[in-house]
Amino acid sequence: MAKAARGNAAGRCTVKTSGDSSNAYEVAPDTPISLEAQDDSKTTDTPPCILLVEDSPTTLRLLSKPLSERYSLLTARNGTVAWELLQTHPEIELVITDIIMPGLSGHEVLIKIRSSDSLQIRSLPVIVIAGVADSDDRDLAFRNGANDFITKPIDAAELQARVRVHHKLARTIHELEASRRALAEQATTDPLTRLKNRRAFYQESKHGLALSLRNNTPMSLMLLDLDHFKEINDTYGHQAGDKVLIAIAGLLKRMSRAVDTVARVGGEEFAIVLPGTGRDGAIVLAERIRTTIEKAPFQAHGEPLTLTMSIGVATYDTDPPDTIDELLKLADRRLYTAKKEGRNRVCATGDTASPA
Ligand code: GH3
Ligand code: MG
Ligand code: MG
Ligand code: MG
């Protein structure tokens, strides 16, 4: 029973715009919405790739053998080739470089690596190998950002041990950075719809208003609440309700511009920040969203299902408030007015006084 509604709610909601659709608010063709979590963790069994830069064929041969036992090894006979390989092989996880070579020296390769535009290249661990134990070379290498410095003759076991340590450390740093990014994303994302959450919406609105105040440009806030959504849950089940929320989120995202922030700020309540958009522009978008949702061919049990939304809009520059909290309160009062006046409507004017 609820199954039919679930499949149809997200899968068959093909949405058309009404009237003029010649601007950024045009709705793109519907695409399937997946609830599957994305797994972007590295699940590779291939050995880590390292780059060995050395002009001496003897040393190259000597080091290649032990390194190839554990690593996928790329080699370059001079710094110029090494730099080209770094651009085309993002799988490289560590660099070992000689200093004295024709063309770019090891010091120059290191400087290029550490000042690269690419974070991946910039943060590569680099082990410098030198022909003689020269303390100036060693100091310069470390000043330029080398992670380690080894002098010839090189003991293969020692090199392997150092490579292992630096590679492991680099991987740990990457993993920490990835989990920091994931946590930061979690803190601002609604897990069901992948839209921004209430907290991120509030931050974005505050930031947008600060820019508007400084640049003397308008900014609108829109609060959107599904009408009688409880009935969807009651009739078709909570999971069908969830699918509807996901479909609505996708639709709102596609109808807004890249600079707008679309958020889910409550159970069946959404919000959009519209930087640079005045009242008229916000009303055009709100009406377009309202009619698009009203016409969207949701189906449950093979029967057409009509959904509607009520929308409250407040605009900095047309409306009196110049703080985000007051603007949000105003948008909320207008949303309440839209509900009271019969739902499925946009309220963007009036009601500017706070209730006593
Ligand atoms: P109104 O037109 O006045 O807004 O009526 P409504 O039924 O939409 O509003 P009401 O506040 O009475 O009910 C909101 C419903 O939204 C109740 C709640 O179960 C449902 N809801 C909230 N969060 C979720 C969610 O994450 N998933 C689902 N499926 N339902 C949710
Ligand atoms: Mg050399
Ligand atoms: Mg509601
Ligand atoms: Mg509500």
Write the pLDDT tens digit of every residue in 199-223.
Answer: 999 999 999 999 999 999 999 999 9
pLDDT at 1 over 70: no
Measured CA to CA, the distance from residue 263 to residue 269 in angstroms comes to 9
Ion ligand 3: residue ranges with CB closer than 5 A:
225-226, 229, 268
According to DSSP, the residues that pair with 300 across neighbouring strands are: 303
pLDDT at 256 over 60: yes
Per-residue model confidence as pLDDT tens digits over 93-142: 999 999 999 989 999 999 999 999 999 999 999 999 998 878 899 999 99
Strand segments, DSSP code E, in 141-233 are 148-151, 219-226
Give the ligand whose atoms come closest to the C-alpha of residue 104: 2
Find the Cα–Cα–Cα–Cα dihedral 331, 337, 341, 344, rounded to 10°: 20
Per DSSP, the three-state class of 268 is coil
pLDDT at 41 over 50: no
Q: Whole-model pTM above 0.75?
A: no
CB neighbour burial string for 276-293, b if at least 16 within 10 angstroms, e if fewer: bbbbebbbbbbbbbbbbb
Nearest residue to 62 (alpha-carbon basis) of 133, 136, 111, 129: 129
Q: How confident is the model at residue 10 (pLDDT cuts 50, 70, 90)?
A: very low
Q: Please state which of the ranges 215-219, 287-291, 347-351 shows the lowest mean pLDDT.
A: 347-351
Provide mean pLDDT across the span 167-183.
94
Q: How many Cβ atoms are within 10 Å of 84's Cβ, its own excluded?
A: 11
Query: Residue 337 class from Cβ within 10 Å (0-12 exposed, 13-18 middle, 19+ buried)?
Result: middle
Per DSSP, the three-state class of 264 is strand
Provide mean pLDDT across the span 7-26.
31
Ion ligand 2: residue ranges with CB closer than 5 A:
55, 98, 100-101
Which atom of ligand 1 is least distant from the CA of 241? 29
Provide mean pLDDT across the span 63-73.
95
pLDDT for 32 equals 36
Provide mean pLDDT across the span 16-41.
35
Sequence spans of domains, the chain = 33-40+187-347, 49-185
Per CATH, the homologous superfamily of domain 49-185 is: Response regulator (3.40.50.2300)
Whether the CB of 291 sits within 6 Å of ligand 1 = no
pLDDT for 303 equals 79
The residue from 54, 93, 204, 268 that is catalytic is: 268
pLDDT at 43 over 60: no
The yes-or-no answer on residue 54 being catalytic is no
Class of domain 33-40+187-347: alpha beta
Whether the CB of 93 sits within 6 Å of ligand 1 = no
pLDDT for 25 equals 33
Pocket test for ligand 1, best of 35, 223, 225, 230 (most atoms within 8 A of CB): 230
Please provide the distance, in angstroms rounded to a whole number, between the alpha carbons at the two ends of the chain. 47
263 CA → ligand 4 middle, Å: 14
Closest-CA residue, ligand 1 atom 10, reads 230
pLDDT for 34 equals 32
Secondary structure of 48-103 in HEC code, one letter for each residue: CEEEEECCCHHHHHHHHHHHHHHCEEEEECCHHHHHHHHHHCCCEEEEEEECCCCC
Closest-CA residue, ligand 1 atom 14, reads 230
Q: How confident is the model at residue 181 (pLDDT cuts 50, 70, 90)?
A: very high
Report which of residues 355 and 23 the model is more confident about.
Answer: 355
> In the structure encoding, which two tokens stand for residue 227, read together?
């009408």
Per-residue model confidence as pLDDT tens digits over 320-344: 999 999 999 999 999 999 999 999 9
Closest-CA residue, ligand 1 atom 2, reads 227
pLDDT at 148 over 90: yes
pLDDT at 162 over 80: yes
Give the ligand whose atoms come closest to the C-alpha of residue 129: 2
pLDDT for 353 equals 57
Q: Please state which of the ranges 3-7, 38-42, 263-267 shows the lowest mean pLDDT.
A: 3-7
pLDDT for 354 equals 53
119 CA → ligand 2 middle, Å: 28
> What integer best gives the mean pLDDT of the chain?
87
pLDDT for 352 equals 59
Ion ligand 4: residue ranges with CB closer than 5 A:
225, 269
pLDDT at 18 over 50: no
Per-residue model confidence as pLDDT tens digits over 302-314: 778 899 999 999 9
